Amino acid sequence: MNILDKIVADKHQEVALRKQLIPVKQLQQSVLFEKETISLSTNLRNSSKAGIIAEHKRRSPSKAVINQNSNVWDVAKGYENAGAAGMSVLTDGKYFGGSLDDLLTARASVNLPLLRKDFIIDSYQLLEAKAYGADVCLLIAACLSRKEIKELSEFAKSLNLEVLLEVHNKQELEKALMPSIDLLGVNNRNLKTFEVSLETSKALSNLIPDDFVKVSESGISSTDAIKELQNYDYKGFLIGENFMKSTDPVQSIQDFMTDL
């Protein structure tokens, strides 16, 4: 059983419990449920700077602790002021140290498009994403069938959430291409070995139709990497660890943007 299988198995249990604690009706009554969505895909297509999607992440299975001391409010504000095109908020607790409250805090502090980054396996999590202020949800092709991708992405669209679909290889990409996807993310990290290579983004770029906004994820730690990937039509760059591993993530993104 690899780490992804383990996370997904735990996620099924977690979601079953959450459903018992907070009924769907309660989520639908959230103040944020009727909020108009801020489009990440539009931001990335029109971004005059590189389309940085800056991430808030406390820890990960591959790196253990990254930054346990950061304040979500301050980090979100700093990302917005530095010119990020969007923000990704990890909401998985067990493996990444995040929570839906982090999403809520980020929503209260900025007007950026917010991505709920989690392992989504149930439509209930999309209702949560909407209720807690997300504009975009992440679907990971590695842990979903084509039928599940279709059902979840279409349900997300019915809630006016944009969908970022993450793939790691050609097989996942081929099963994932459908009209209910807005952004296609190529994760440069092999989820089984945790090795990172930008060659993954380069190799898959010409297989992604222009209808989708292309996003490169993981392992982007220099402005040179971004300039290189822009040649392959990538408009979005999801960067978390590079900013979060510093003692001051806000200063880190400011320096990065200046360099860019």
Torsion of CA 151, 133, 110, 235, to 10 degrees: 0
Known active-site residue 36? no
166 is catalytic: yes
218 labelled catalytic: yes
Q: Which of the following is catalytic: 60, 80, 109, 117?
A: 117
**Residue among 11, 41, 55, 242 flagged as catalytic:** 55
Annotation says 55 is catalytic:
yes
Q: Is 217 a catalytic residue?
A: yes
User: Could you say which DSSP state residue 48 is in?
Assistant: S
Q: CB 116: neighbour CB atoms within 10 A?
A: 28
* Candidate list 166, 216, 235, 252, residue with the active-site label: 166
User: Among residues 41, 88, 218, 242, which one is catalytic?
Assistant: 218
Q: Which residues contact 246 (CB under 8 A, 6 or more apart)?
A: 67, 252
CB atoms closer than 10 angstroms to residue 49: 11
Judge whether 80 counts as a catalytic residue: no
Catalytic residue among 128, 172, 217, 241: 217
Q: In the numeric block, which tokens belong to residue 11?
A: 């996620």
Query: What tokens does 245 get?
Result: 């591993």
Catalytic: which of 41, 43, 153, 187? 187
What is the DSSP annotation of 140-206? EGGGS-HHHHHHHHHHHHHTT-EEEEEESSHHHHHHH--TT--EEEEE-B-TTT--B-THHHHHHHT
Active site includes 35?
no
Cα 209 to chain center, whole Å? Answer: 20
Catalytic residues: 55, 57, 117, 166, 187, 217-218
